[in-house]
Amino acid sequence: MRKNVDLETMTDGKLYTGNDMVRLLCNDCIGCTGCCNGMGRSIQLDPYDISLLTTNLQCSFQELLAGRIELNMCDGIILPNLLMVSDREVCSFLDDKGRCSIHGFRPVLCRLFPLGRLYRNEELWYVHQINECGMQNGGKIKISKWLGIEGLKEYEKYIIQWHMLLAKIQKEYAGKVSPEELRAFNMQFLKLFYLDSYTSDVNFYAQFYNRLKIIYKTINSAASFEH
């Protein structure tokens, strides 16, 4: 989810790296499902999230679209997000005991909460959104441990590249090409990064970077797109 965060009022004002300790512990979220319902379209899913979901649930992206996720237009580009279901607007992965049924491979935005990410000059920082979770009266934890992402440095390099791609499309490309070109581009983008499955036999990042080269080739060859 891309949102403008007022660092002064919505965070503790500090920029963190994965090695920093932050007061995030919330008693294992017992009795609270605050960030698993009413989230609207905000829990967007990137290719890494989708590769984890499809591999661990042994399903395709199309199967996830049948009740687990949905597609939405976001500043000119079609992106998937977790679907909130029922009149309670609850994530379909929340079980009847109020726990995440996919905890081990839940999307990274779920892992982050209530941290946010800030991208500056091709660098990634974490921010602590102090008003998002009312249960954080426990101790401090290292951000890398909070996230629990294997190979965090490699992941961070990837997510910076993903962020830069989305920013280029949303802030430059989408506004300059014709509606027909944008439609065709969206079809290619969806197929390349989401519909074409990621194989668990090959490193995810290698597969991603191959696809990244292809999409940049399309962007750079668009006749109506001035660089």
Residue ranges in contact with ligand SF4 by CB under 6 A: 26, 29, 32-36, 43, 82, 91, 93-94, 100, 102, 106-107, 110, 113, 133, 135
The least distance separating ligand SF4 from the CB of residue 227, rounded to whole angstroms, comes to 38
C-alpha–C-alpha distance, residues 181 and 193, integer Å: 18
The least distance separating ligand SF4 from the CB of residue 151, rounded to whole angstroms, comes to 21
- 16 vs 93 by CB, closer to ligand SF4: 93
114 preceded by a cis bond (ω within 30 of 0): yes
- Residue 144's closest CA among 155, 132, 160? 155
The least distance separating ligand SF4 from the CB of residue 109, rounded to whole angstroms, comes to 8
- 90 vs 167 by CB, closer to ligand SF4: 90
C-alpha–C-alpha distance, residues 175 and 50, integer Å: 27
Helix locations, 69-222, DSSP H: 108-112, 143-147, 152-168, 174-176, 179-190, 204-221
- 115 vs 219 by CB, closer to ligand SF4: 115
- 109 vs 182 by CB, closer to ligand SF4: 109
The least distance separating ligand SF4 from the CB of residue 158, rounded to whole angstroms, comes to 20
